[in-house]
């Protein structure tokens, strides 16, 4: 679903994003100068109520996993005023402008197979999963009634 656009204006990439509950009428993309290959390509800036540009997100280059191999930008807009981060993707180019798309993340299927690092699904937790030994028996009660957990777990 397209929710905005960016175009070159006065030598800058300026645009907007709007949904039913979000209206960001003045946004800018600022190129990131970095030699770090993991750095984003752009910072997403918004004009705040004090008329200052503030960073609200970043965009990285991505390649479509389908047969087209299309290159696009993807990232997230986040701000304390938003209920949750907004994942976005930009399609186009600096010279032609970008279309801003949004896609709802697919919910995880509760009945789908669970993938574990060992390749096999483990029943319950044990020492091999990083949680250590359990202090509960099969019924969920303290396995060793003589143990005092407060001696083992420091509370500061």
Residue 19 pLDDT: 92
Residue 140 pLDDT: 66
Residue 121 pLDDT: 41
CB–CB of 34/52 below 8 Å?
no
Residue 154 pLDDT: 52
Residue (of 44, 41, 40) closest to 14 by Cα position: 44
Q: Which residues pair with 6 in a beta bridge?
A: 15, 98
Considering the entire predicted model, what is its pTM?
0.66
What SS3 class is residue 128?
A: helix
Task: Determine the Cα–Cα distance for residues 30 and 50; give it in Å rounded to an integer.
Answer: 19
| Mean pLDDT, contiguous 10-residue spans, the chain (156 residues) | 93 94 94 94 95 96 87 94 92 94 75 58 48 64 61 51
CB–CB of 98/91 below 8 Å?
yes
């Amino acid at each position: 679903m397209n929710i905005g656009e960016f175009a070159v204006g006065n030598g800058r990439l300026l645009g907007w994003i709007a949904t039913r509950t979000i209206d960001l009428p003045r946004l800018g993309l600022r190129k990131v100068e970095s030699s770090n290959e993991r750095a984003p390509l752009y910072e997403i800036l918004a004009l705040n109520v004090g008329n200052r540009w503030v960073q609200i997100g970043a965009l990285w280059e991505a390649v479509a996993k389908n047969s087209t191999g299309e290159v696009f930008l993807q990232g997230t807009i986040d701000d304390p005023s938003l209920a949750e981060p907004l994942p976005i993707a930009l399609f186009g180019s600096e010279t032609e402008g970008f279309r801003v798309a949004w896609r709802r993340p697919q919910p995880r299927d509760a009945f789908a197979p669970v993938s574990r690092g060992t390749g096999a699904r483990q029943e319950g937790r044990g020492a091999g999963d990083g949680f250590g030994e359990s202090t509960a028996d099969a019924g969920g009660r303290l396995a060793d009634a003589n143990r005092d957990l407060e001696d083992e777990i420091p509370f500061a």
